Amino acid sequence: MEEWQKKHILGIKDFSRQEIETVLSLADSFKEISEREVKKVPALRGKTIVNLFFEYSTRTRTSFELAAKRLSADVVNFSFSTSSLTKGETIVDTIKNLEAYHPDIMIMRIGVGACLKSFSQYTQASLINAGDGNNEHPTQALLDMFTVKEIKGTLENLNVLIVGDIAHSRVARSNIFGFQKFSSNITVCGPTSLIPYEFEKIGVKVSNDFDKEIESADIIMMLRIQKERQGATFFPTLREYVDRFSLTPQRLKKAKKDSLVMHPGPVNWDVEISSSLKEKVHPLILKQAENGLAIRMAALYLVGTKKREI
Amino acid sequence: MSNKKEIKKILSKDDIKRTLYRLAHQIVEKSSSSEEIALVGIQTRGVYLARRIQSIIKEIEGKDVPLGVLDITLYRDDLTVLGPKPIVKETKLAFDLSDKVVILVDDVLYTGRTVRAALNEIMDFGRPKRVEFLVLVDRGFRELPIRADYVGKNIPTSRQEVVEVNLEESDCNDEVVVIKNMD
Amino acid sequence: MKLLIKNSILVNANETIKANLLIENGKIISIGKDIKEADKEIDAKGKHIFPGFIDLHTHLRTPGREGEEDILSGSTAAAKGGFTTILCTPNTEPAIDNEGLAKWIREESQSVGLIDIYPIGAITMNREGKKLTEFGALKKAGCLALSDDGVSVEDTLVLRRAYEYAKMFDLLVISHCEDSQLSHGGSMRESFISSKYGIAGIPDIAESLIVARNIELAKYLGARIHLAHISSAKSIEIIKRAKKEGVKVTAETCPHYFTLTIDDLEREGFPGNYKVNPPLGDKKDLIAIKKALADGTIDCIATDHAPHSLAEKELPFELAPFGFIGLEMAFSLTNSYLVKDKTLSLEDVANKLSTQPAAIARLDKRGKIAQGYIADLVITDLTRKWKVEGKNLASKSMNTPFLGHELEGTIEQTIKKGKVIYSRLKD
């Protein structure tokens, strides 16, 4: 295995195909640890890992926390409300103050995008992006790819269909950058008003026709829709959104028999996916979450054991 | 700078076979009928050796000895100093460790750090009755107070030399060689 | 007291002369090769002298945010950048929408005594876009122009009334062109890059739509208008057409639009110091801006000097405030980027930084080195390099994307009414 080069994990944009494969193969080994009696290995013993969350999230934060603890690291959690971004102590000051703890890794989630690279200059720690605005959520995409690989055996030449609020989805972006590196065909499908400007330039097919695209999809990735979006004039009503872009039993019938339905969670049943499909699709969605832990352990392991430059 | 290497063959394919048979007999002899043994191979070549010993014991005693595989990468003491990271392979101990005599199996015993890591990892799986260690080649230069209970061959080496154990399962053929860099 | 400036190359918009200058009582009294005695002498050592630069667009942050800039620091920064006259915008706290504040700005700047500062009065009360300010009173108090800068006057009827009413006073109405519904929430130019990173974008039509609207209005009313900080190729097309039709429209652009694009923004990792409104454009906008400067579609270069505190600019990109400081870098950037690649000649530089602004603001006896004109002069060194660093800057704020950049072209001395107000060697 080649030496892991990245100090930070900020986005799949910066990952090579090789690097993605490294994380996925490591995650396999880490999955086994969760099945042991003693669910702990000493790989990151004594490392200090800080969860610095400026956006509310229990799931991702807990996932990272548990991943860190299973690697024997010490974890500290800092949660700030979104409003504190502009009031009170600045993020830069917060990061600088945290340096007193000599953190080895900082896991950050923040409601605005593309700012983590700027913040990395204020700390010696490795930064892992747990979601920055609409930009990227690298560990989510990695766990999605890991899940697909587990079941399909490959990431090559798959037809990936991503459905929903593409414009505001960091999950969509990270997955697009990831699957692209494996020559998969990616289609994004959603209301035109929620497809970003000139998005085809990123290398995806753009569509508004869920019924048509679902027929050829190997992977159907449903995205969360924030109910508040309808207030911002992107689409008139939730009803109309659901009518065109919800995964209903009728639509699913058109899909390939072995297609996978995925969702980053938590699911808004009867908005993104009909609740009548719950029994059928929920198991894989839960598996995604389980894989998330292994992926995050792999991510922490790789940056946490990286040779420190003096 | 010449890349000349001096390669000395220490054990041939037949030598290895005979050694493994001898070791298997030693294990059987040492263990009493009241004790249950289990073999745990350390990835990667320790696993191949453990498998071979398992089948030899079956051959000579008709006894089925449980086999586990152990990857010690995550227990290493040098993770932050290593450059390229080794691939983490499978770890599987599908049996209860308590009341068993666990025999760790590896190809080469050198500094002893691998065994230290293996011991720590085994302890996280349970509390064996006893842990013993079998190694094909002991080349000296211990850095920790570790010793093997079963040794295939003692090979005195110098620090400039490298002991290479090749096994059919992963390399071209069975042999043990000592390689010296002539610089 | 007579001041002689010798061994200089005088650069005007339409001519370059190798001659000496004689100055008395703040005026240029003679230009020629053989000037006799003077009481004081400055040896320009062969350097180029331009008419003092005039900025039609500076945010002095006074009153209200003197921590970011005040009249003294702003004047000093201007002098360091070769600017001898600036017009300061009314988007202060409170806004300069009354004669009292306008007068105060004039008086304060005079008491600091470095450069001439003229306030730009707000078009509407508190810049809310509803009720017109007292144009007459503002003019009397010293305003040379009106603007709601920072925002557009969204209500077209209000803007119509403003254009009509201003005509009576021959007051220039300067427009910040931005459709705030389209730009709402955006932090950078809407583009493939903003889509790639999920950053809310500001489409270029947010500017060009208002440019078009304002030009149509001006055409209809025969009004004289000036368009602030033009940043896009689309706007330039519209302005070009309008000028051909004889509409009395002038336009300015800022150095960042002919030096930086969204590619730079992406490459640098979206630092707060690269955030500005109107946002940086793409490559084709930059090329169009350069062309427009060369062919006169854009009449002048203004700085849109907008100081912001470090804490604010350290905020994540999407939350950081918009704006760059620019007084101290404008000439160097123009020299390094436009003169270097021959987009502009040195005479064009005099035109864009001094002559045109003087004409647009109707500043008498300024913008040219000529007999009888006010002795506002800038002695420059065109080849000297300098690094933009916090400690080199006179402005109270340091928010510029050019921090750490090396630029070519320095201001050696700035002379205001015959008095040296800045000298690099003494800095």
> Tens digit of pLDDT for each residue in A266-285?
899 999 999 999 999 999 98
**Which residues in chain A have their CB less than 8 angstroms from residue B92's CB?**
32
Residue of B nearest to A301 (CA): B74
Buried b (16+ CB within 10 A) or exposed e, C371-388: eebbbbbbbbbbeeebeb
Say if residue B51's pLDDT is above 80: yes
Distance CA B170, CA B52 (A): 14
Residues in chain B closer than 8 A to A25 (CB atoms): 87
Taking chain A, what is the end-to-end CA distance rounded to the nearest angstrom?
24
What pLDDT does B31 receive? 84
- CA–CA gap between residue A112 and residue A55 (Å, rounded): 9
pLDDT band at C352; cut points 50, 70, 90: very high
Burial class (CB in 10 A: 0-12, 13-18, 19+), C283: exposed
Of C194, C199, C271, the CB nearest to A118: C271
Instruction: Among A114, A134, A199, select the one facing C317 at the smallest CB separation.
Output: A114
Which residues have C-beta within 8 Å of that of residue C149, sequence separation ≥ 6? C57, C89, C90, C91, C120, C174, C176, C228
Chain B residues in contact with A306 (beta carbon < 8 A)? 80
Give A 116-175 residues with CB within 8 A of chain C. 117-119, 133-135, 167-170, 173
In Å, how far are A158, A191, C190, C241, C277 from A161, measured between CA atoms? 10, 14, 25, 46, 36
* Tally of structural domains, chain B: 1
Q: What's the confidence (pLDDT) of residue A309? A: 61
Question: What integer pLDDT is reported at residue A83 of this predicted model?
Answer: 74
pLDDT of residue A87: 73
Determine contact: A30 vs chain B, CB below 8 A.
yes
Q: Please report the pLDDT score of residue B34 as a whole number.
A: 74
**What was the pLDDT predicted at A15?**
96
In angstroms, rounded to a whole number, what is the distance separating the alpha carbons of residues A303 and A4? 8
pLDDT band at A229 (very low <50, low <70, confident <90, very high): low
Q: Does the beta-carbon distance from B79 to A38 stay under 8 Å? A: no
Query: Could you tell me how far CA A265 lies from the centroid of its own chain?
Result: 10
Per the CB < 8 Å rule, is B90 touching A32?
A: yes
pLDDT digits (tens, 9 = 90+) for B134-177: 999 999 999 999 999 999 999 989 888 999 999 999 998 999 99
Asked whether residue B174 is domain-assigned, the answer is: no
Taking the C-alpha atoms of residue C204 and residue B118, their distance in angstroms, rounded to an integer, is 63
Tokens of A144: 């999605």
First to last CA, chain B: 7
Which residues in C lie closer than 8 A to residue A135 (C-beta atoms)? 197-199
Question: Is residue C397, in this structure, part of any structural domain at all?
Answer: no
Nearest chain C alpha carbon to A120: C269
pLDDT at position A230 over 60 = no
Short-list A51, A55, A152, A68, CA closest to A112: A55
Residue contact A32–B92, C-beta within 8 A: yes
CB of A265 less than 8 A from some CB of C: no
What count of other Cβ atoms lies within 10 Å of the Cβ of residue C157?
8
Whether A13 has its CB under 8 Å from any CB of chain B: the answer is no
Q: Does C191 touch chain A (CB under 8 A)?
A: yes
Please compute the mean of the pLDDT values over residues B102-106 and round it to a whole number. Answer: 97
Q: Chain B: nearest CA to A169, how far in angstroms? A: 33
DSSP 8-state symbol, C311: H
Sequence-separated contacts (24+) of A153-157 with Cβ below 8 Å:
A155/A179, A155/A182, A155/A184, A156/A182, A156/A183, A156/A184, A157/A182, A157/A183, A157/A184, A157/A185
pLDDT at C315 over 80: yes
CB contact B179 to A (< 8 Å) = no
Q: Do C162 and C173 contact (CB within 8 A), yes or no? A: yes
Query: Percentage of chain A surpassing pLDDT 70?
Result: 96
Predicted local distance difference test score (pLDDT) of residue B23: 96
User: Looking at the domain assignment, is residue C427 inside a domain?
Assistant: no
C109 CB-near residues (< 8 Å, 6+ apart)? C71, C75, C115, C116, C117
The full set of domains in chain A, from first to last, is: 12-137+291-304 (3.40.50.1370), 140-289 (3.40.50.1370)
Two tokens, residue A15: 């990952």
Contact C88, C117 (CB under 8 A): yes
Residues with Cβ < 8 Å from A133, sequence gap 6 or more? Answer: A110, A111, A112, A113, A114, A115, A170, C198, C199, C318
Range of the domain at C63: 52-360
What number is the average pLDDT over the span C350-374?
Answer: 96
Out of A1, A42, A305, the one facing B80 most closely (by C-beta) is A305
pLDDT (average), residues C295-323: 94
- Residues of C with Cβ-Cβ distance to A123 under 8 angstroms: none
Q: Is the predicted pLDDT of residue C195 greater than 80, yes or no?
A: yes
Decide if A301 and B74 are in contact by the 8 Å CB cutoff: yes
Amino acid at C73: S
Task: Verify whether the Cβ–Cβ distance B81 to A307 is below 8 Å.
Answer: yes
Q: And the tokens for A90?
A: 């600045």
Q: CATH code at C163?
A: 3.20.20.140
Residue A219's H or E segment, with its range, is: strand A219-222
- Biggest CA–CA distance in chain A, Å, is 60
- Contact: C198, A134; criterion CB under 8 Å: yes
Checking if the pLDDT of A88 tops 80, the result is: no
At residue B155, the pLDDT reads 92
* 3-class DSSP assignment, residue B135: strand
**Residue C390 or A3, more confident:** C390
Work out the mean pLDDT of chain B and round it to a whole number. Answer: 92
CATH of the domain at B147: 3.40.50.2020
Q: With H, G, I as helix, E, B as strand and everything else as coil, classify residue B142.
A: coil
Task: For C162-171, write each residue's pLDDT tens digit.
Answer: 999 999 999 9
pLDDT tens readout for residues C247-263 = 999 999 999 999 999 99
Residue C191 has pLDDT above 60, yes or no: yes
Look-up of token digits 């054991």: A305
How confident is the model at residue C163, as a pLDDT?
A: 96
Total domains, chain C = 1
pLDDT exceeds 60 at position B9 = yes
CB C190 within 8 A of CB C198: no
User: Does any domain span residue C240?
Assistant: yes
CB contact under 8 A, C195 and A197: yes
Cα of B177 to nearest chain A Cα, Å? 25
* Pairing status of strand B161-166 against strand B130-138: unpaired
Residue range B14-35, pLDDT digits in tens: 999 999 999 999 999 988 777 8
Tens-place pLDDT, residues C58-71: 999 999 999 999 99
Give Cα separations from C366 to C249, C266, C376 (angstroms).
21, 41, 7
Q: Which residues contact C340 (CB under 8 A, 6 or more apart)?
A: C408
Could you tell me the pLDDT band of residue A231, with boundaries at 50, 70 and 90? low
Q: Do residue A135 and residue C271 have CB atoms under 8 angstroms apart? A: no
Mean pLDDT on C191-211: 97
Structural domain of residue B153, as residue ranges? 13-28+35-159
In this complex, the residue of B85, B92, B125 whose CB is nearest that of residue A38 is B125
Q: What average pLDDT score do residues C38-53 get?
A: 93
> What pLDDT shows up at residue C110?
95
Within 8 A of C199 by CB-CB distance, chain A residues are: 113-114, 133-135
What average pLDDT does range A300-307 have in this prediction?
90
Interface test with A, best of C199, C263, C309 (most A CBs within 10 A): C199
Please choose, from the candidates C156, C25, C78, C41, the residue with its C-alpha nearest in 3D space to the C-alpha of residue C357.
C78
Q: Which pLDDT tens digit goes with each residue over C81-129? A: 999 999 999 999 999 999 999 999 999 999 999 999 999 999 999 999 9
The nearest alpha carbon in chain C to A92 belongs to: C314
B181 in a structural domain: no
CA nearest to A40 within chain B: B124
Nearest CA in chain C to A195: C195
The residue assigned the tokens 């940043």 is C231
Torsion angle in degrees (nearest 10) through CA of C139, C141, C142, C144: -20
The verdict on residue B175 lying in a domain is: no
Radius of gyration of chain B (CA): 17
Judge whether residue A233 has pLDDT over 90: no
Q: Which residues in chain B touch residue A29, judged by CB atoms under 8 angstroms apart?
A: 71, 88-91
- Select the residue from A305, A306, A309, A310 to test the B interface by mutation, using most B Cβ atoms within 10 A: A305
Mean pLDDT of A7-20: 96
Q: Is the Cβ pair A32, B74 closer than 8 Å?
A: no
Give the percent of chain C with pLDDT over 90: 94
pLDDT value of position B83? 75
pLDDT of B35 = 82
- Letter for the amino acid at A252? L
CA dihedral C197, C203, C207, C208 (to 10 degrees): 140
Among C184, C196, C204, the strongest candidate for a mutation testing the A interface, having the largest count of A CBs within 10 A, is: C196
Residue A84 in contact with residue A110, Cβ under 8 Å? no
pLDDT of C426 strictly over 70: yes
Integer angstrom CA distances of residue C386 from C251, C295, C329, C383, C410: 30, 30, 10, 10, 7
Most A-contacting residue of C191, C192, C312, C318 (CB-CB within 10 A), to test interface: C318
Show the DSSP H helices in chain A as ranges: 17-33, 59-70, 91-98, 116-119, 138-152, 170-180, 210-213, 238-245, 249-254, 278-304
Q: Is residue C409 situated within a structural domain?
A: no
pLDDT score, position A306: 84
Which chain A residues are Cβ-neighbours of B120 within 8 angstroms?
42
CA distance C275 to C1: 48
Q: pLDDT per residue over A157-188, tens digit each? A: 999 999 999 999 999 999 999 999 999 999 99
User: CA C395 → CA A162, C313, C417, C421, distances in Å?
Assistant: 50, 15, 23, 15
Helix (H) or strand (E) holding C263: helix C262-267
Which residues of C have a catalytic role annotated? Answer: 304
Would you call B19 helix, strand, or coil by DSSP?
Answer: helix
Among the partner-chain residues B74, B82, B84, the one whose CB lies closest to the CB of A41 is: B74
Chains in contact with chain A (at least 3 beta-carbon pairs closer than 8 A): B, C
- With CB atoms and an 8 Å threshold, state whether A38 touches B124: yes
Residues 319-378 of C with CB under 8 A from A: 319
Which pLDDT score is estimated for C427?
76
Give percent of chain A above pLDDT 90. Answer: 78
pLDDT band at A39 (very low <50, low <70, confident <90, very high): very high
Residues 6+ apart with CB under 8 A from B123: none
Token reading at C108: 């304060």
Q: Which of B98, B120, B124 to mutate to test the interface with A (most CBs of A within 10 A)?
A: B124
Query: In 3-state terms, what secondary structure has residue A132?
Result: strand
- pTM (2 d.p.): 0.90
Is residue C387 within a helix (H) or strand (E), and if so which, with residue range?
Answer: strand C377-387
- Is the pLDDT score of A89 beyond 90? no
pLDDT at position A228: 65
| Average pLDDT of chain C, as a whole number | 95
Of the candidates C198, C272, C315, the beta carbon closest to that of A113 is on C198
* Averaged confidence pLDDT in chain A: 92
Alpha-carbon torsion (C354, C359, C361, C365), positive or negative: positive
